[in-house]
Structure 1
């Protein structure tokens, strides 16, 4: 399901770029926007530029965010780059403001789906993911604030009407990402398993939060079990469910929404 979500979300982003934003020279956020600018100003294809720009940050993401996340991101970058290259670019709407709003919303929907599938579309999304794992910021708002350089470049290379229209698109994208991604939602997981030590190592090695291990006894079986309790962000749920299933497919897992967390939420990763 994660792979399907990443492919589907990345294709949605490609559609938003080629049908709403690029025909009106409206830039998207991050490296996608820079790639679009390169495609408009040079003979290089937008998809090729997007792939080349992402290579250095993919290495950084591998070091900071883990193997599974970065492979999902590589898949998203490949699908997005291929979609930009293969899908024909043509304007659906003539009005630039409507194209900016709708294109930004569609792009935000696609990026949000990729985030919820434990991946990213590359570029500054990787930087934003690293920051949000250390600090509890809304990722859409953070991405929007990091895109000042795209807006300034748009005004410099094109015109300031285009820059302001780009700002509308980027702001809309950020708001939709936060609506879809809901990374601020916290969840409490209570995992009851007979493989407590293995489960603890797997979770501590792959998520950025601590956990508490309790001893328990099955009420019906009278067998000893470990009860692992942790609090995670909503966007980590797909990854954590996959980790749990890999260790113990029969584990009993209770997932509840958490109203508020006090104290340290993020594990100190050095």
Structure 2
């Protein structure tokens, strides 16, 4: 019975990841063919690098398209992900990149506007949403996502900020080759793309939680049952209003676990005082679910 349930869970997880891979493929294709290409906006990461190389190849009359270059530039990153992250993760990353390559090539461009500001904003929004949803389902869209995940494990920095840092190179390349006006609009689009990724993909954002309760055992048991988080206990605290004995609990969670924490508190002590603040940096061990 347990094995059957586990098989069903894995099948559901794989179908969810496959659907997110296809969702990203549609998102990046719309961003590229509807907005970036008409507005001469350069995207972030490997997609942007592929655009720059494709534009350069046009000048020297070599027929290299953005979709083909996008796939080719991802090949060495597949190898890196295979050894550094995981085989299952790499397989779905490959599918996401393959779907994206096909959709970029097959989806016809629709002329909406040539306004570079509008193209930068909507291209960044759509691609950021697709990338964030893919990462949220533990699959990568290739390119800088793979590098970003590896660096995030080492440094704890957010995916969006890593994305923006590496894309400075693309902005500079676009500026030198195609003009600084389009480089400026591309920078705006990349910034929007990075911020949307951080809004959607929240599991890397750390929050410090302080709980003041007179039911510490119930709260600790419920949190540790529903969330794999360590808790620090401060005994003998006193409330100033009624001079009641309290216990203070400290823990750190990801923003993605906010709903789980809320459920745990409502079940264990709905009258507890809970304060949640964003943590700038975490030093020491912080458990992260393994990316598979």
Common fold by TM > 0.5 = yes
Deviations 1:109-148 (A, max 9, x none): 1111111111111112110011112222121111001111
Structure 1 residue runs without a partner (length 5+): 193-208, 213-229, 238-253
Aligned CA distance change for structure 1 residues 5 and 156 (closer, same or farther; 3 Å): same
Q: Quick check: 1:24–1:91 contact (8 Å CA) kept in 2?
A: no
- Cα deviation for residue 9 of structure 1 reads 2.0
Aligned CA distance change for structure 1 residues 211 and 83 (closer, same or farther; 3 Å): farther
1:31 paired residue among 28, 36, 46: 46
Q: Quick check: 2:158–2:205 contact (8 Å CA) kept in 1?
A: no
- Cα deviation for residue 191 of structure 1 reads 6.3
Q: Quick check: 1:39–1:49 contact (8 Å CA) kept in 2?
A: yes
The count of residues paired between Structure 1 and Structure 2 equals 218
Q: Quick check: 1:186–1:232 contact (8 Å CA) kept in 2?
A: yes
**d(CA) in 2 for partners of 1:3, 1:116:** 13
> Which residues in structure 2 correspond to 1:21-60 (within 5 Å)?
21-42=36-57, 43-60=63-80
Q: Quick check: 1:189–1:255 contact (8 Å CA) kept in 2?
A: no
- Cα deviation for residue 38 of structure 1 reads 2.4
**Aligned residue number for residue 88 of structure 1:** 108
- Cα deviation for residue 233 of structure 1 reads 4.9
- Cα deviation for residue 190 of structure 1 reads 3.1
> Which residues in structure 2 correspond to 1:125-140 (within 5 Å)?
125-140=145-160
Larger radius of gyration: 2
Aligned CA distance change for structure 1 residues 157 and 255 (closer, same or farther; 3 Å): same
**Aligned residue number for residue 264 of structure 1:** 285
**d(CA) in 1 for partners of 2:206, 2:92:** 23
**d(CA) in 2 for partners of 1:121, 1:84:** 14
Q: Quick check: 1:61–1:126 contact (8 Å CA) kept in 2?
A: yes
Q: CA RMSD in A?
A: 2.9
**d(CA) in 2 for partners of 1:146, 1:2:** 26
**d(CA) in 1 for partners of 2:84, 2:109:** 35
Deviations 1:34-82 (A, max 9, x none): 1112233322121111010000011001111111211111111111111
Tell me if 1:72 matches 2:92. yes
**Aligned residue number for residue 222 of structure 1:** none
Could you state the TM-score of these two structures normalised by the residue count of structure 1? 0.72
Aligned CA distance change for structure 1 residues 211 and 49 (closer, same or farther; 3 Å): farther
Tell me if 1:8 matches 2:23. yes
**d(CA) in 1 for partners of 2:109, 2:90:** 29
> Which residues in structure 2 correspond to 1:79-228 (within 5 Å)?
79-185=99-205, 190=225
Aligned CA distance change for structure 1 residues 7 and 163 (closer, same or farther; 3 Å): same
Could you state the TM-score of these two structures normalised by the residue count of structure 2? 0.67
Is the deviation greater in 32-41 or in 254-263? 254-263
